[in-house]
Amino acid sequence: MTMSEAISQRQRLREETAPLRARILDELAQLPWDGLRYGHAVPGLSLYRVVEPAGPFSAVYEPSLSLIIQGSKRVHVGSQTLVYDESCFFLTALGLPATGQICEASLDEPYVAASLRLDLEKLRRIIADHDLHPTDTPERDLVGVAVGAATPLLFDAFLRLISLANAPGDIPFLANHIHNEILYRLLTGEQGARLRRFALAGTNSNRVARAVAWLKENYTRPLRVEELAEIANMGVSTLHHHFRAMTAMSPLQFQKHLRLHHAGELMLSQSLDAATAALRVGYESPTQFSREYRRAFGHPPLRDIKAILNSNDAAKGDSIG
């Protein structure tokens, strides 16, 4: 697809989904917001509204699907930069550290987004029930994050899911059905091969996912790639190749981003100084931590944390859709 064709497709999708997005905004306007988030009663569903530019902010994305109802967002994952708006969904098939930024938002036109956590067990059941086996798509092309076309069918399902806030008694029955519908749309859509690869055991994508899960639980420990390869049941060179292909980072870079993210959380939530936070997350040298933090976020830790504490709640958010 050429650049002009992609732009035309995005514009067409925005026009086709405009009525549905307007109805979602009407639904959201009736909810009792507490700051930038709304804690929806539907399990795994998060709603966000930001009224001024925010970021760059660090986040660790869990497997999830995000739809922007209004606005746009830039996400940096390793060496990749993804930009998405109302015409796209953002999909992450495995948990990844990332940096996000909302460039435009105002009281009159806030950034509004919805995020739904992916249930991998549900994905596997749908794959089995509907015989949705992986295609022959080369796994080297299956990076763990992607953007795809946000169709009217997806927005319609999200509208019905969000509307359950006004009918909480229907949530136990209807939410599960709508959630399954959304997963089915994803599995049979343009990013379906990616999801099927990551959900099914035995594929290289799934083995990398195991390595990712171990790193997230053990990011403070010294990294031995040989041990990580054994956990993933892969050779060292094979692990390096597929890990970088699917996360846009090496295992060491992945660990570094996790450490930086969690150090920032410690400085915010526990008022730790940079040196103490660095040691808590596994750095042996506070100087190295400060250098890598500045490289990742553009400012030294102390200045960055002070700026966040003095800003609105948006800058303290997690992935914010």
What tokens does 88 get? 């796209």
The phi, psi pair for 191, rounded to 5°, reads -105, 15
Same domain for 167 and 132? yes
Same domain for 240 and 264? no
Same domain for 223 and 151? no
Q: Mean of the pLDDT values across residues 79-84?
A: 87
Q: Which residue in this structure is represented by tokens 């008022």? A: 271
Q: Is the pLDDT of residue 314 over 50?
A: no
The band of 277, judged by pLDDT with boundaries at 50, 70 and 90, is very high
Residue ranges making up the domain that contains 218? 204-249
User: What pLDDT does residue 318 have?
Assistant: 57
User: What pLDDT does residue 134 have?
Assistant: 57
Same domain for 130 and 143? yes
Q: Is the pLDDT of residue 77 over 60?
A: yes
Q: Mean of the pLDDT values across residues 113-125?
A: 89
User: What pLDDT does residue 319 have?
Assistant: 65
Same domain for 53 and 172? yes
Same domain for 240 and 165? no
The band of 6, judged by pLDDT with boundaries at 50, 70 and 90, is confident
Same domain for 194 and 64? yes
The band of 190, judged by pLDDT with boundaries at 50, 70 and 90, is confident
Average pLDDT along the chain: 87
User: What pLDDT does residue 315 have?
Assistant: 45
H/E stretch holding 67? strand 64-70
The band of 167, judged by pLDDT with boundaries at 50, 70 and 90, is very high
**Percentage of the chain modeled with pLDDT above 70:** 92
Same domain for 80 and 171? yes
Same domain for 83 and 228? no
For 217-271, give the DSSP string: HSTTSPP-HHHHHHHHTS-HHHHHHHHHHHHSS-HHHHHHHHHHHHHHHHHHHS-
User: What pLDDT does residue 282 have?
Assistant: 95
Q: Is the pLDDT of residue 176 over 70?
A: yes
Q: Mean of the pLDDT values across residues 139-168?
A: 87
Is the overall model pTM greater than 0.85, yes or no?
no
User: What is the number of structural domains in the chain?
Assistant: 3
Final residue of a structural domain among 163, 181, 199: 199
- Answer whether residue 121 is part of any domain: yes
| pLDDT digits 0-9 by tens, 32-52 | 887 788 889 999 999 999 999
Number of Cβ within a 10 Å radius of residue 310 = 8
User: What pLDDT does residue 296 have?
Assistant: 83
Q: Mean of the pLDDT values across residues 249-256?
A: 94
Q: Mean of the pLDDT values across residues 114-119?
A: 92
Q: Quick one: which of 89, 100, 198 has its CA closest to 143?
A: 198
Same domain for 191 and 308? no
Of the two residues 131 and 50, the one the predictor is more confident about is 50
Q: Mean of the pLDDT values across residues 283-306?
A: 85
CATH at residue 125: 2.60.120.10
Final residue of a structural domain among 249, 265, 280: 249
Lowest mean pLDDT among 5-9, 130-134, 274-278: 130-134
- Answer whether residue 172 is part of any domain: yes
By three-state DSSP, how is residue 215 classified?
Answer: helix
Q: Does residue 56 have a cis bond before it (omega within 30 degrees)?
A: yes
- Answer whether residue 321 is part of any domain: no
Final residue of a structural domain among 132, 166, 199: 199
Q: Quick one: which of 45, 43, 46, 65 has its CA closest to 172?
A: 43
